[in-house]
A and B are shown apart, each in its own frame.
Chain A
């Protein structure tokens, strides 16, 4: 297993000018790695980051959209895998950080932890490209290929979180609105 934050670092180093949608633990950690108008938190309703990312990817087909999702979060809206695969935006990369627990609530296990194949679910839902990594160096070797994929892509990262994310601030609704507005101006939408 790789460290969650180290995996986020690898993604941040290779994102170029992609839009990054964050959920759950990544929502708290990502601002330590990046703070640009292209970083969009999705934390005000649980389990909806990938759906939000789908909307963005459909709206902005010329922009790469990266979703940093979590296993517990995805389980809350598992049908979204099928919805996303049906629309199949080629500019969307859906990362799922699989730590097997609800980290933000104290580390309780997700249902059937360790026995669910999120990559298998994505593949069976119709994602054209799927990857799974449990070692950081494997991710590092493949990340450029992933970022350059020209079809909808799913990446499961088997991670552990060494620090307690609850000590990190989470964006409020007002901060999220401000960020979305800033994004619109940067992207020339408003």
Chain B
């Protein structure tokens, strides 16, 4: 039996985040997660916190967490490289239970990546010891809750990589 592949829809992703009790999405638009924008703007349960550069995201999320809220971070994998010192000094050193959703620029499924953004993403996450899950279609969105719960349980950041197949 094979699982039917579907597109990734914003409503399903948001629904999963709401199910987790997420209160804030700290985000910078990118090509892979840009499809989320309208859906995020048309609802009021989760507050959107737009940022100018990805390095701000984890510290804002840290403030929200310390203040008792349940934020997630959403931006591109390129921005994860930009955020390196915050990942180290805040998310990892301060043991933040933080879900980080990353647009997986350069991901081409089974085809070898030619974009260095994709080439270095997983090795970087692995080197930080950050667990990661791939979502490419609605059939995968349950991994968001799985990753969210894992972050809470382990007091560590956990990443979701958003593949390009979305609608």
Contacts and interface: CB of A to CB of B under 8 A. Distances in A.
Interface of A: 21, 40, 42, 44-49, 51-60, 77, 79-80, 82-83, 86-87, 173, 176-177, 180, 183-184, 187, 189-190
Contact of A53 (B52, B58, B63, B88): B63
Nearest to B49: A87
Given A48-B86, A58-B49, A79-B52, A180 B60 contact: no
Contact of A79 (B56, B58, B89): B56
B47 A59 contact: no
Contacts, number: 104
A60 B89 contact: no
| Main SS at interface, chain A | helix
Name the interface size band of chain B.
Answer: 20 to 34
27 contacts: A44-B89, A44-B94, A45-B58, A52-B66, A54-B49, A55-B59, A55-B60, A55-B62, A55-B64, A55-B71, A58-B47, A58-B67, A58-B69, A59-B66, A59-B68, A59-B69, A83-B50, A83-B51, A86-B50, A87-B49, A176-B94, A177-B94, A177-B95, A180-B66, A183-B66, A187-B67, A187-B68
